[in-house]
């Protein structure tokens, strides 16, 4: 019998503070009606914000079933299920061809593994916003620093345009 591949853990669960979530979506220029994916969506906060505030079609990919379930429940309780959705699965195995914006908060090794997938799949003009860890293969379009997230921590965001 063949062993089933378990997904690579590309980052531990560590949620982005809400102030930084808003900055990521603003930096990514997200507009109503656009499609965004959060790769490794944790508790779904970026996906939920993108649907609630920016009226975007928002998809999270999360392999931790309890986080995926918690996110879906919150999406439903907020009445956002026409706009927002969570795929429970490996973010390295999905199709991102429809994306206008990708958000990521993964470790450098995760960004490295995602790079060829996004290079192959993303349409021209799609944007990627990375939190704290950059994509070393790509030229940055813009960098912004957030000196204090409200809890005394600083953050750096990187914008890339395909
Ligand atoms: C640093 S957290 C970021 C959560 C959320 N994006 C945020 O910014 O609040 C990274 C998330 O990626 C998920 N993750 C790690 N490897 C994954 C994989 N191969 N497929 C899907 N999710 C993964 C983890 O379970 C975790 O929830």
Question: Percentage of residues in the chain with pLDDT exceeding 90?
Answer: 94
Q: What is the pLDDT of residues 55-98, one digit of tens each?
A: 999 999 999 999 999 999 999 999 999 999 999 999 999 999 99
Instruction: Determine the pLDDT at residue 7.
Output: 84
CATH fold of 18-103+124-161, please? Rossmann fold (3.40.50)
Distance from the CA of 52 to the center of ligand 1, in angstroms? Answer: 21
pLDDT at residue 1 in the model: 38
CA–centroid distance, residue 12 to ligand 1 (Å) = 6
Whole-angstrom distance, CA of residue 39 vs CA of residue 111: 10
Q: Could you give the CA distance from residue 42 to residue 14 in angstroms, rounded to a whole number?
A: 8
44 lines ligand 1 (CB under 6 A): no
Query: Measured from the CA of 40, which atom of ligand 1 is nearest?
Result: 12
91 CA: nearest ligand 1 atom: 20
Closest atom of ligand 1 to 92 CA is 19
Q: Any idea where the domains of the chain sit in the sequence?
A: 18-103+124-161
3-state SS, residue 129: strand
Residue 143: in which H helix or E strand, if any? Answer: strand 142-146
Global pTM reads: 0.96
Nearest CA to ligand 1 atom 11: 40
The mean pLDDT value of the chain amounts to 96
pLDDT at 116 over 50: yes
From ligand 1's centre to the CA of 16, what distance in Å?
11
Alpha-carbon gap, residue 68 to 55, rounded angstroms: 21
**Residue 6: its pLDDT value, please?**
81
CA of residue 14 to ligand 1 center, whole Å: 8
pLDDT in tens, 125-141: 999 999 999 999 999 99
Residue 49, pLDDT > 90, answer yes
DSSP string for residues in 26-63:
HHTT--TT-EEEEES-TTSHHHHHHHHTT--EEEEEE-
Q: How far, in Å, is the centroid of ligand 1 from the Cα of 63?
A: 8
| 75 and 96 Cβ atoms separated by less than 8 Å | no
Q: How far apart are CA 141 and CA 161, in angstroms?
A: 6
Give the contacts of 88 (CB within 8 A, at least 6 positions apart): 62, 63, 65, 68, 69
Is the CB–ligand 1 distance for residue 35 below 6 Å? no
User: Tokens representing 33?
Assistant: 């009606």
């Amino acid at each position: 019998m063949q062993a089933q591949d378990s997904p690579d853990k590309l980052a531990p669960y560590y949620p982005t503070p809400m102030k930084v979530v808003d900055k990521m979506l603003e930096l990514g220029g997200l507009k109503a009606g656009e499609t965004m994916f959060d790769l490794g969506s944790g508790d779904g906060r970026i996906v939920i914000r993108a649907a609630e505030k920016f009226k975007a079609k928002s998809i999270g990919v999360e392999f931790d079933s309890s986080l995926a379930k918690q996110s879906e429940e919150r999406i439903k309780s907020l009445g956002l299920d026409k706009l927002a959705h969570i795929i429970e699965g490996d973010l390295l195995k999905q199709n991102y061809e429809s994306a206008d914006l990708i958000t990521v908060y993964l470790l450098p090794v995760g960004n490295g593994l995602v790079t060829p997938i996004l290079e192959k799949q993303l349409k021209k003009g799609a944007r990627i916003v990375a939190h704290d860890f950059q994509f070393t293969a790509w030229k940055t379009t813009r960098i912004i620093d957030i000196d204090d997230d409200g809890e005394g921590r600083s953050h750096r965001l990187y914008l890339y345009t395909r």
